[in-house]
C-alpha cells in the first residue's frame, strides 16, 4: 500500500481552534451527561484543513473503555469565531471494537457447506468462461433458444466451463495440498504415485501432473494426487523379510489322548 505525502506530514493545528477547549467541551456537554466526559486528552489538526481541529476528551461511559469523545471545531478564514462541526465517539488505541467485517462469501472455507446450502457463483467469476456465445449478429428470443438447444446437445448442457485461470488455480491448490509432493505422507512414501498401479489417469491438460488414487486402503482413495505424491499403500510396496509375519508352526496332534480327554477341553 502506498502512503501519500500528505498523510506523512502532520498539519499544525490552528492556534485559535486548538485553544478552544472550553468551546469544544461545552458543545460536548450539550450532547452527553457530564458524568460521561473526562479530561481533555489532546488536539489534532485535520490533514486537509489546518483550521479544522479535533479536540479529544476521555469517555467515562460504562462499557466504553478506551473510547474518546471527539469534538471537531472550525475557524473560518480571517475569522476569530469558532464553529463546532461535529461531536462523535471514536475508539482509541485500547478500545474494544468489533473485528473487521469479512463478507460471508470470503469467510467460507472448503468443508463449510452443509446439505441444502447454496453457494452462487458470480457471473463474472474468472474461474469460468462461457462454452458458447450468440455471436455478433442480433438474435431474437427464438434464435437464442435454438442456439441454446444446439449447445445443450453438443456440450451436455454446460453453459460455462473452467477457464485457464480456474484450472491453474485448482492445479496449484492440489499440488500444494495433502495430495501434493510436500505432504508428510508423500515425504515418507517409498515410491511416487506415478509408479503406482492404483493411480487412475485423468484426461486433459492436467493429465501429465495429476491422477486419481483408486486404492480403497489408502488415505487418498478417490482424491486427486500429484504424480510426485505417494504413500505407504503403493502397489509395489513389499515388506523386508525380517518384517514379514513369521509362519505359524504346524498343528501338533497329541495321539496319546483318548476321545474322553478331547471332550473335556
Ligand atoms: S495408493 Fe498411495 S501411492 Fe498409490 S496412487 Fe494412491 S496415494 Fe498414490
- Whether residue 157 lies inside any domain: the answer is no
Given the CA of residue 196, which atom of ligand 1 is nearest to it?
Answer: 4
CA distance 129 to 104: 24
Question: Which residues 6+ apart lie within 8 Å of 210 measured at CB?
Answer: 171, 174, 179, 202, 224, 225, 226, 227
Q: Which of 26, 57, 91 is the last residue of a domain?
A: 91
Does 186 contact ligand 1 (Cβ within 6 A)?
A: no
- Whether residue 131 lies inside any domain: the answer is no
Least confident of 6-15, 24-33, 39-48, 59-68: 6-15
Give the global pTM: 0.59
Reported as a single tens digit per residue, the pLDDT across 215-257 is 999 999 999 999 999 999 999 998 877 777 777 888 877 777 6
Which protein residue's CA is at the shortest distance from atom 4 of ligand 1?
234
- Whether residue 51 lies inside any domain: the answer is yes
Does 59 contact ligand 1 (Cβ within 6 A)?
A: no
**What pLDDT is recorded for position 264?**
54
Q: Which of 36, 60, 91 is the last residue of a domain?
A: 91
Q: Which of 35, 58, 91 is the last residue of a domain?
A: 91
**What pLDDT is recorded for position 172?**
97
Considering its fold, how many domains does the chain have in total? 2
Taking all residues of the chain, what is their mean pLDDT, rounded to a whole number?
A: 87
Q: How far is the CA of 112 from the centre of ligand 1 (A)?
A: 27
- Whether residue 4 lies inside any domain: the answer is no
* Residue 8 scores a pLDDT above 50: no
Span between the terminal Cα atoms of the chain, in Å = 85
- Whether residue 247 lies inside any domain: the answer is no
Query: What confidence tier does 192 reach under pLDDT thresholds 50, 70, 90?
Result: very high
- Whether residue 73 lies inside any domain: the answer is yes
Does 43 contact ligand 1 (Cβ within 6 A)?
A: no
Given the CA of residue 191, which atom of ligand 1 is nearest to it?
Answer: 3
Q: How far is the CA of 222 from the centre of ligand 1 (A)?
A: 10
- Whether residue 151 lies inside any domain: the answer is no
Does 231 contact ligand 1 (Cβ within 6 A)?
A: yes
Reported as a single tens digit per residue, the pLDDT across 106-129 is 888 888 989 998 888 888 999 999
Between 143 and 113, where is the model more confident? 113
Does 179 contact ligand 1 (Cβ within 6 A)?
A: no
Given the CA of residue 214, which atom of ligand 1 is nearest to it?
Answer: 6
Q: How far is the CA of 232 from the centre of ligand 1 (A)?
A: 8
- Domain carrying residue 59: 11-91
Reported as a single tens digit per residue, the pLDDT across 144-184 is 788 777 777 776 667 888 999 999 999 999 999 999 999 99
Query: What confidence tier does 12 reach under pLDDT thresholds 50, 70, 90?
Result: confident
Given the CA of residue 199, which atom of ligand 1 is nearest to it?
Answer: 5
CATH number at residue 54: 3.10.450.630
- Whether residue 174 lies inside any domain: the answer is yes
Amino acid at each position: 500500500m502506498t502512503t501519500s505525502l500528505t498523510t506523512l506530514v502532520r498539519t499544525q493545528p490552528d492556534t485559535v481552534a486548538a485553544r478552544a477547549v472550553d468551546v469544544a467541551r461545552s458543545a460536548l456537554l450539550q450532547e452527553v451527561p457530564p458524568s460521561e466526559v473526562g479530561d481533555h486528552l489532546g488536539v489534532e489538526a485535520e490533514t486537509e484543513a489546518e483550521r479544522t481541529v479535533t479536540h479529544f476528551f476521555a469517555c467515562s461511559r460504562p462499557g466504553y473503555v478506551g473510547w474518546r469523545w471527539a469534538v471537531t471545531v472550525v475557524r473560518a478564514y480571517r475569522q476569530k469565531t469558532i464553529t463546532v462541526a461535529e461531536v462523535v465517539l471514536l475508539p482509541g488505541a485500547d478500545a474494544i471494537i468489533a473485528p473487521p467485517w469479512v463478507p460471508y462469501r470470503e469467510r467460507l472455507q472448503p468443508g463449510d457447506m452443509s446439505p441444502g446450502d447454496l453457494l452462487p457463483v458470480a457471473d463474472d467469476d474468472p474461474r469460468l468462461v462461457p462454452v458458447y456465445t450468440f455471436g455478433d449478429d442480433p438474435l431474437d428470443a427464438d434464435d437464442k433458444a435454438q442456439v441454446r438447444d444446439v449447445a445443450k446437445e453438443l456440450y451436455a448442457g454446460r453453459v460455462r466451463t473452467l477457464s485457464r485461470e480456474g484450472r491453474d488455480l485448482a492445479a496449484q491448490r492440489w499440488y500444494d495440498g495433502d495430495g501434493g509432493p510436500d505432504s508428510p505422507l508423500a515425504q515418507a512414501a517409498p515410491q511416487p504415485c506415478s509408479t503406482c498401479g492404483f493411480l487412475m489417469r485423468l484426461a486433459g491438460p492436467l493429465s501429465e501432473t495429476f491422477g486419481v488414487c483408486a486404492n480403497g486402503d489408502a488415505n487418498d482413495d478417490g482424491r486427486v494426487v500429484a504424480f510426485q505424491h505417494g504413500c505407504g499403500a503403493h502397489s509395489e510396496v513389499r515388506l523386508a523379510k525380517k518384517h514379514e509375519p513369521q509362519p505359524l508352526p504346524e498343528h501338533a496332534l497329541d495321539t496319546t489322548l483318548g476321545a474322553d480327554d478331547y471332550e473335556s477341553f
